[in-house]
Amino acid sequence: MLDSRLRPLIDPPLNAVGRVLANTGVTANALTFAGLALGLGAAAAIALENLALGLVLILANRVCDGLDGAVARVRGPTPLGGFFDIVADFAFYVSIPLAFGVMDERYTLPALALVASFVLTGVSFLAFAVICAERGLDTKAHGTKSFYYSTGLAEGAETIAVFVAMCVWPTYFEEMAYGYAALCVLTVFQRSALAVILFRD
């Protein structure tokens, strides 16, 4: 919901740094894998109850995620890069709630509910992208991407905001997990309604 609105603010500085990195030989895939390592490190830190380190690594992961796209825009996006990027993103997204579930058994059920909602959201997102590709549909609302990025109520910016809030106020993890899981499910319904409109033969 907020991603497309934030793009005009975050893209200029990311693109400037991306040009510098691309000119020094840094590849988008290298940044993607560095971001994945940072994200999984964040999950490990949270599981070990070091929420401050987890928060720092979550933010570092997002910086790498923004920079890999910026470098790709300089060098030119590739299908393989797009594949690695989305896999790394979802690996990161599911690892954080699971880490809270490991940290405290009281959080296990809400963590699983949130992961399940991420799976549903991800499936709807990727299925939508596949059908858009088959029909030659495109959008630049989220910048230049390897495939169609459909807008939803729960997107990257909202997810990171929730992860940050969970690290800052972990005692409210259950409420935040169930609440955000509900928003993810609503996103699936929203995307499904849009699919009915766009893909009806």
pLDDT per position as a tens digit, 21-45? 989 989 999 999 999 999 999 999 9
**pLDDT recorded at residue 56:** 98
The encoded tokens of residue 35 equal 């971001």
pLDDT of residue 148: 55
DSSP codes joined into one string, the chain = --HHHHHHHHHHHHHHHHHHHHHTT--HHHHHHHHHHHHHHHHHHHHTT-HHHHHHHHHHHHHHHHHHHHHHHHH---HHHHHHHHHHHHHHHHHHHHHHHHH-GGGHHHHHHHHHHHHHHHHHHHHHHHHHHHTT----TT-S-SS-----SS-HHHHHHHHHHHHH-GGGHHHHHHHHHHHHHHHHHHHHHHHHHHH--
User: What domains are there in the chain, each with its CATH number?
Assistant: 3-199 (1.20.120.1760)
Q: What values do phi and psi take at 58, rounded to 5?
A: -60, -45
Parts of the chain with a pLDDT under 50: 141-142
pLDDT at 2: 54
Number of neighbouring beta carbons within 10 Å of residue 113? 19
What local confidence, expressed as pLDDT, does residue 6 receive? Answer: 56
Amino acid at the residue 59:
L
What pLDDT, in 10s, does the model give residues 180-191?
999 999 999 998
Mean pLDDT of the chain: 88
Burial class of 8 by CB neighbour count within 10 A (0 to 12, 13 to 18, 19+): exposed
Q: pLDDT at position 5, please? A: 62
> pTM to 2 decimals?
0.85
Determine the pLDDT at residue 177: 97
The pLDDT value recorded for residue 142 is 43
Tell me, what's the pLDDT at 163? 97
Q: According to the model, what pLDDT value does residue 7 have?
A: 65
